[in-house]
Chain A
Amino acid sequence: NAGVMQNPRHLVRRRGQEARLRCSPMKGHSHVYWYRQLPEEGLKFMVYLQKENIIDESGMPKERFSAEFPKEGPSILRIQQVVRGDSAAYFCASSPQDTLNTEAFFGQGTRLTVV
């Protein structure tokens, strides 16, 4: 059973371009969480999704950021018109059900650099 797969591992975008980050949860996991980590900081919650549903997007910036978790395929975090401040590591986690009594498994992250 492969772990949580994120790609790309590194992504460089020029200001104004779009960034698409992908996350394939572990097999059998239907819950996905996205977190952002700035240098020397902890992880900040962004969004929680179940298949085809956004459950909680309270940590998402109001503009330019969107996330989806379609019935088929990976979860996508999309950042439009990137700015330098979007440079960070973005981590995805998945769990088989809600996290009441199960741990969340994290991917290796995507490091986004905006130049």
Chain B
Amino acid sequence: SQQGEEDPQALSIQEGENATMNCSYKTSINNLQWYRQNSGRGLVHLILIRSNEREKHSGRLRVTLDTSKKSSSLLITASRAADTASYFCAPLYSGTYKYIFGTGTRLKVLA
């Protein structure tokens, strides 16, 4: 399977702590996206990082990409209860146009 693999599958932290989620993929990519999904809702796009980029920030979110290790990480700083959701990475493999989703990391932030 070419899907991105998120790690850990589940993560539980206290409000105010940082949360780090990792994603590994199989072959070369054009870009990689991170999405959030609240329970029973649609996907919200968080960040797109291109294969020639190493790091991107958006508010409390920081995404890194290491193409040599074929991995990406999503860091949420100063987490809030509202960050409780499932987080998915979706690599876009070179030569393709469809995003392949993993099973996600279920983050729970305790107030």
Contact = CB atoms under 8 A, between A and B. Distances in A.
B98 A103 contact: no
Contact of B102 (A33, A35, A42): A42
A92 to B, nearest CB: 10
B31 to A, nearest CB: 7
Contact of B30 (A44, A48, A91, A101): A101
Please classify how large the interface on chain B is, using the bins under 10, 10 to 19, 20 to 34, 35 or more.
20 to 34
B45 A100 contact: no
A104 B99 contact: yes
B100 interface: yes
Contacts of A43: 43, 88, 101
B43 A91 contact: yes
A80 B94 CA distance: 34
Given A48-B98, A108-B42, A109-B42, A103 B104 contact: no
A23 B31 CA distance: 25
Interface string B20-52: 000000000011010100001111110010100
Contacts of B41: 108-109
Given A101-B50, A106-B35, A42 B88 contact: yes
Interface string A87-115: 00001010000111111111111010000
A44 B100 CA distance: 7
Contacts of A56: 97-98
Contacts of A106: 35, 42-45
A65 interface: no
Contacts of A105: 45
Nearest to A35: B101
